[in-house]
Amino acid sequence: MPETGASPLPQTPPAHSPLFRAEHLVWLTARVLEQRLFAYHFLNAGPDPVETALEAYRNADGGYGHALEPDLRGPVSQPLHTGHALRVLDAVGRCGGQRVERVCRYLTSVSTPDGALPAVTPAQRGYPTAPFLPVVDGPPSDLLTTGPVVGLLHRNDVWHAWLFRATDFCWQAVESLQVSHPYEIQAAVTFLDSVPDRPRAEATADRLGRLVREQRLAALDPSNLDAFPVRPGYDPGEHHFPHDYAKTPGSLARAWFTDAEMSRSLDHLAAEQQEDGGWPVRRRQWAPSTALEARPMATIEALRTLRAYGREVG
């Protein structure tokens, strides 16, 4: 019997359920962090082991590195790694306190002149890096990096001096979008779902939803993907579906799609589970290690989305 006060033992999902099949993939291929996250989300485990696993990626400057985001290898802190760490902390209800104060100090140290975040800082130079993440001197502000970080900090009621200018940057960037692509829209949604000015967020999201439909950025009929061409620079199979934008029913992006469109999207997501129990990674894979590390992440995300919409996963 476990000792009094010990974390409950992981529960085993029903045999042959999507969750049971996914668990095999996680134990077979996932890093310790994703194993702990899977156990937290689906096996009744606690948040402390997740935090312990995440700590291995933290650097003395308050940022995170060590290939936490698989497309950036090497030990140095980067905004993309740090945004990934905030997603993990948010997922387990630990996005606050001194750890986030340290994160905000790091974000301040790497911000661009307008107070936002670049995708990659020059400190990455010399380490293996995905070809679609160029390392340049004086990198520009990037909504893809800044929007999710600002959104998650607001979601957790974090207030820090860094947030003021970064929030202003996100508003300007999101409200000025005319031609976009799926990952940029996803970053905008993460920002809009949590920024405090709700009327402004709702109005901006409504406009973005029209843009997504007009520019065919969401594959509304998974059985006819040829009608929804992927964006330039994306891999041939790198489609995005309604569930990629509205990951939960409470997202502002949920209003962009009809019930029938969302149902087809979720049916497609459920059917994507592969023979080994995992979900595929649709973005470009440029090294064997990144493909291996990304699949458990995609699998956990798929299961969480299905469960958020009331789909049975086991």
**3-state DSSP of 183-248:** HHHHHHHHHHCCCCCHHHHHHHHHHHHHHHHHCCCCCCCHHHHHHCCCCCCCCCCCCCCHHHHCCC
The pLDDT score that the predictor gives to residue 283 is 85
**What pLDDT score was predicted for residue 141?**
98
How many folded domains does the chain comprise?
Answer: 1
286 lies in some domain: yes
216 within a domain of the structure (yes/no): yes
Q: How far apart, in whole angstroms, are the C-alpha atoms of residue 110 and residue 80?
A: 12
Residues sharing a CB contact under 8 Å with residue 224, sequence separation 6 or more, in sequence order: none
Spatial separation of the C-alpha atoms in residues 297 and 83, rounded to whole Å: 15
- Residue 57 is assigned to a structural domain of this protein: no
Q: Are 22 and 303 in contact (CB under 8 A)?
A: yes
117 lies in some domain: no
Residue 14 has a pLDDT of: 64
Question: Is the pLDDT score of 234 beyond 70?
Answer: yes
Q: Answer yes or no: is 206 within a domain.
A: yes
Note whether 45 and 39 are within 8 A (CB).
yes
Tens digit of each residue's pLDDT (9 = 90 or more) over 283-302: 888 999 898 999 999 999 99
In a domain, 64, yes or no: no
Model confidence at 29: pLDDT above 50: yes
d(Cα 59, Cα 75) in Å, to the nearest integer?
8
Enter the pTM of the model: 0.93
pLDDT of residue 304: 98
Domain for residue 14, yes or no?
no
Q: 193 or 6: whose pLDDT is higher?
A: 193
Q: What is the pLDDT of residue 16?
A: 81
Quote the mean pLDDT of the chain. 94
Query: Can you tell me whether residue 9 is helix, strand or coil?
Result: coil
Phi, psi (deg, nearest 5) at residue 58:
-85, 140
Residue 143 in contact with residue 174, Cβ under 8 Å?
Answer: yes
What is the band of 4 on the pLDDT scale with cuts at 50, 70, 90? Answer: very low
**Beta carbons within 10 angstroms of residue 274's beta carbon:** 13
So what's the pLDDT on residue 233?
87
Rounded Cα gap, residues 79 and 221, in angstroms: 35
**CA 215, CA 314: separation in Å to the nearest integer?**
37
The answer to the question of residue 124 being in a domain is: no
CA atoms within 13 A on the CB side of 222: 19
Percent of the chain with pLDDT over 70: 95
Residue type, 302: A
H helices of the chain, where? 18-29, 32-42, 48-55, 79-91, 97-110, 143-155, 161-175, 182-192, 198-214, 242-245, 259-271, 288-308
Stretch 25-43: mean pLDDT, rounded?
98
Question: What does the block give as tokens for 61?
Answer: 């400057």
Task: Say yes or no to pLDDT of 3 above 50.
Answer: no
Domain that holds residue 300: 177-314
pLDDT in tens, 145-200: 999 999 999 999 999 999 999 999 999 999 999 999 999 999 999 999 999 999 99
